[in-house]
Amino acid sequence: MAGRVEGKVAFITGAARGQGRSHALRLAEEGADIIGMDLLEPLPFVTYSGATQDDLDETVRLVEKTGRRMIARQGDVRDLARLKEIADEGVAEFGHLDIVCANAGIMIMHEWQDGTPEIWETSLGTNLTGVWNTVMATAQHLIDNGGGSMILTSSSAGTKAQPWLNTYVASKFGVVGVMHAFALELAEHNIRVNSLHPTGVSTEMVMHVGELMEGFISRHPQLGGTIVNLLPIMASEPIDQSNAVLWLASDESRYVTSTTLHVDAGVTQY
C-alpha cells in the first residue's frame, strides 16, 4: 500500500537528523510535502553534538529524492514567533497543512543533586514549551484546512519515570497533558492529537546518553533494571517510530485521538 498521505503537507520540528529526518522521509515516501525546521546551534548543558545545516540539507536531499518537496528553515521551538513564521511560509508555498509532528527534543542526563534551575529551564523550554508552541503555531492552519493530525513526541519516560533524567521525565509527562488538553479542544475542528512514546532510538542523542548511563548504573546498580526492554533489543530504529507517525498521520487512524501510542519494546511494563 502506497500513497497513504498523498497530497498532504507535514510540519516537522527537529527535522535535520534522527527521528525528525526519518519522519520527513517516511511521510514523503507516502506522498507528503514537508515543512521542516531545526535549531542548528548548540544548547547549554547538552553534551552531544547538535544538528548542522549540512544535516538539514541532507534531509532536504533525501525528501526530494522521493519526488516530494521540502521547505527547510532554522528555528528554535522555544520561539513561538519564529515557529509561526516558518509555518506561515510553508503554508503559503504549499497551500495547506495537514500533519504536525512536534518532534524536537533534548536529553540532559545527571544525578538529582546535580540539577540546576538552568538545566530545568533548558529541558522544559525545548521539550514541553516547544511542543506547546508547535501546536499554537500550526493549529489554525489545520482548522482552515478542515482538520488534520498532530503527533506530539513524548517518550517511554513520559508515562514511566526513568532514573537520572528528572527534567526530561517532567517534560515528557507534560507532553501527555498538553496532548490530552489540545485533543479535547481541537476535536470539534476534526483535528486529532496523539502522543508517541518511543523506547530508546538509535540516534546520536540516545546513543550518547547510553554511554553515560553505564557509569550511572555502576554507581546505582539497583536502578539499572528499571530501564530494560521486554523485547530483546537495546534500542529501536528511527523507522520504527516513523511507521507509527505515518499511521497516526494517515486516514487509517481517522478516529484515533487523545491516545498515547507506545512503540517502546515493552520498557514501560517493568
Reported as a single tens digit per residue, the pLDDT across 39-77 is 999 999 999 999 999 999 999 999 999 999 999 999 999
Are the C-beta atoms of 137 and 74 separated by less than 8 Å?
no
Cβ neighbours around 188 below 10 Å, total: 8
Contact 24, 59 (CB under 8 A): yes
Q: Is 90 helix (H, G, I), strand (E, B) or coil?
A: helix
| Residue-level pLDDT at 250 | 98
CATH (one of 3.40.50.150, 3.10.129.10, 3.40.50.720, 3.50.50.60) for 9-261: 3.40.50.720
Active site residues: 168
- Cα separation, 267 vs 270, in Å, equals 6
Alpha-carbon gap, residue 255 to 252, rounded angstroms:
8
The pLDDT, as a whole number, for residue 140 is: 98
* CB neighbour list of residue 139: distance below 8 Å, 6 or more residues apart: 150, 182, 186, 191
State the pLDDT at residue 223: 81
Residue 218 is predicted with a pLDDT of 77
Please name which of 158, 153, 157 lies closest in space to residue 174, comparing C-alpha atoms. Answer: 158
- Residue ranges in the chain whose pLDDT is less than 50: none
pTM, 2 dp: 0.95
Half-sphere exposure at residue 199, Cβ-oriented, CA atoms within 13 angstroms = 21
pLDDT at 12: 99
- pLDDT for res 228: 87
Grid coordinates representing 108 are 540532559
Q: What is the pLDDT of residue 1?
A: 58
